[in-house]
Amino acid sequence: MQQKQKIIFVINPISGDLDKSLLEEEIRCFADSENFWFHIYRTTGTNDSIKISELIKTHTPDIVVAAGGDGTCNMVGQLLLNSSIRMGVLPSGSANGLAMELCIPAPIKKALQTIIHGSPKPIDVIRINKNYISLHLSDIGVNAKVVQRFQKDTVRGFWGYGKHLIAELMDAKPIKFSLILDGREISKSAYMIVLANASQYGTGANINPKGKPGDGVFEVVLIRAHSIGHLLRMIIPFFTKSIDQLDYIEVYSCKKAILKTNKNQVVQIDGEVIGSIKEVEAEIIEKAVQVMVPQYALTDNT
């Protein structure tokens, strides 16, 4: 007799300010109809990685599902690094950038169908400063500071983000840095430096039109605007996937990047601020996590 699939659902109860009771109910119904074993773990924000890794050891699941935003995906992805256990995503955060990138549908039923009946897609991750990974987009400069302000605020959503973005743009100063890209050194200054395994933020803003999470490289995107006017002129190209056409945007594909700045800079990884640091070392780990995606989202070079 064929063994039942075993799935651990990691649910972030606070992500996206959404009540997750309906989500849990849908999981129970779906498990009945599809006949799989499941366990639900609700994150607390403290020592979740340790507790989930114990659950993985005890239950040896086939799939671990991240039900939350990009931060929850990042935590689950780190636990499944270079493992044959697949990762599922139930998009339910305030930012679901990775899910959008991988065409994982937002409605719960369709997302559950994808987890059970979709196909595993190997994606790269960027290892950052030994202890962190980025599945999606990480950055230094304006956006990281906006994320930092946003996390301390009680107002969420588009308007919460928008008001902090305007405040940061008004105060933005270029960062001076040296950058070694696959052994080649350049010295520059920029308002923002993005380490991009993917193409677009959860807002839909496309920062890296050539970004593909499974292509074996990541992009370093330098936003070298000279004025606030330049920064504002990026808004339309963000949504027409043409940001790389602007003459103050530079995009480099690489496997390894070492960035050194003269002052501490705020760094955010997949939507979570990790602190203020002067040195960032980033390296691609190819095909490190197998994520369940819809069949139609599987193409060779994405």
Binding site for ligand ATP (CB under 6 A): 12-16, 43-45, 68-72, 93-95, 151, 271-272
Question: Smallest distance from the beta carbon of 68 to ligand ATP, in angstroms?
Answer: 3
Nearest to 10 by CA among 50, 35, 29: 50
For ligand ATP, the closer of residues 152 and 184 by Cβ is 152
CB-CB contact of 202 with 214 (8 Å): no
Question: Smallest distance from the beta carbon of 265 to ligand ATP, in angstroms?
Answer: 20
For ligand ATP, the closer of residues 129 and 151 by Cβ is 151
Strand partners, 194: 139, 221
CB-CB contact of 255 with 283 (8 Å): yes
Question: Smallest distance from the beta carbon of 71 to ligand ATP, in angstroms?
Answer: 3
Question: Smallest distance from the beta carbon of 43 to ligand ATP, in angstroms?
Answer: 4
Question: Smallest distance from the beta carbon of 164 to ligand ATP, in angstroms?
Answer: 12
Q: How far is CA 195 from the centre of its chain?
A: 11
Helix (H, G, I), strand (E, B) or coil at 53: helix
For ligand ATP, the closer of residues 36 and 161 by Cβ is 161
Distance between terminal CA atoms of the chain? 36
Contacts of 46 (CB under 8 A, 6+ apart): none
For ligand ATP, the closer of residues 237 and 271 by Cβ is 271
Q: What are the Cα distances from residue 133, in Å, to 93, 113, 283, 285?
A: 19, 27, 9, 9
Strand partners, 117: none
For ligand ATP, the closer of residues 8 and 220 by Cβ is 8
For ligand ATP, the closer of residues 45 and 183 by Cβ is 45
Rounded distance, CA 142 to CA 145, Å? 5
Question: Smallest distance from the beta carbon of 289 to ligand ATP, in angstroms?
Answer: 16
